[in-house]
A = this chain, B = another copy of it.
Amino acid sequence: MTAPIRLLLADDQALVRGALAALLSLEPDLTVVAEVGRGDEVVAEARRTAPEVALLDVEMPGLDGIAATAALRAAVPACRVLVVTTFGRPGYLRRAMEAGANGFVVKDTPARQLADAVRRVHAGLRVVDPTLAAETLAAGASPLTERETEVLRAARGGGTVADLAAALHLSEGTVRNHLSAAIGKTGARNRAAAVRIAEEHGWLLGD
């Protein structure tokens, strides 16, 4: 018989992490060799335990799952990455693939399909949620420029223009211009809506 596939799990919610471990451990051909709760612990743990497939959540403290994917692929090329996320934001999929992920699954998918996704990724196949893939193609990349993204990201906290200007070392007028452009591009009617829309599209990732 062949040895079971070695897995690393990364999810900030201990309960979910443990539950996924239980779920995957039911499969005789899978074994969980490492669990971490922070994105910035992924690489070190992968170096130590040499997993063959890593399941990474996107929402994690320290380092988000996309950045962790890139770091892991660079540091431990032998380890394939399956990104698992709560939100089917079209932008997440694109960013994850660009970062070198081998698969992308949303937490809405039935539990029994997860083990299969792991096996597929381990076998070198790409696994992508088909409905999400269509959305991504339709939605395209972010229309926002780097600066606009930055300003919008800073605006999430709900500060005034003066706050943003101070935080970003820009003039207030410039901040207003970038915000105005972002509002126009997102089709929103004000800053708050623009932030929400950009967030829903996954355009604000990667602090």
List A residues at the B interface (Cβ < 8 Å): 12-23, 26, 84, 86, 105-112, 114, 157-160, 188-196
Instruction: Tell me if B160 and A111 are in contact (CB < 8 A).
Output: no
A15-B114, A18-B110, A111-B21 as given contacts; A192 in contact with B189, CB under 8 Å? no
CA distance A96 to B188 in the complex (A): 35
Q: Which residues of B contact A110 (CB under 8 A)?
A: 14-15, 18
Using known A-B contacts A13-B86, A158-B196, determine if residue A111 contacts B189 with beta carbons closer than 8 Å: no
Query: What residues on B are CB-neighbors of A108 within 8 Å?
Result: 12-15
> Which residues from B are CB-within-8-Å of A114?
15, 18
> Can you list 10 A-B pairs with a CB-CB distance of less than 8 A?
A14-B110, A15-B109, A19-B19, A19-B22, A19-B23, A22-B22, A157-B193, A157-B196, A160-B190, A192-B192
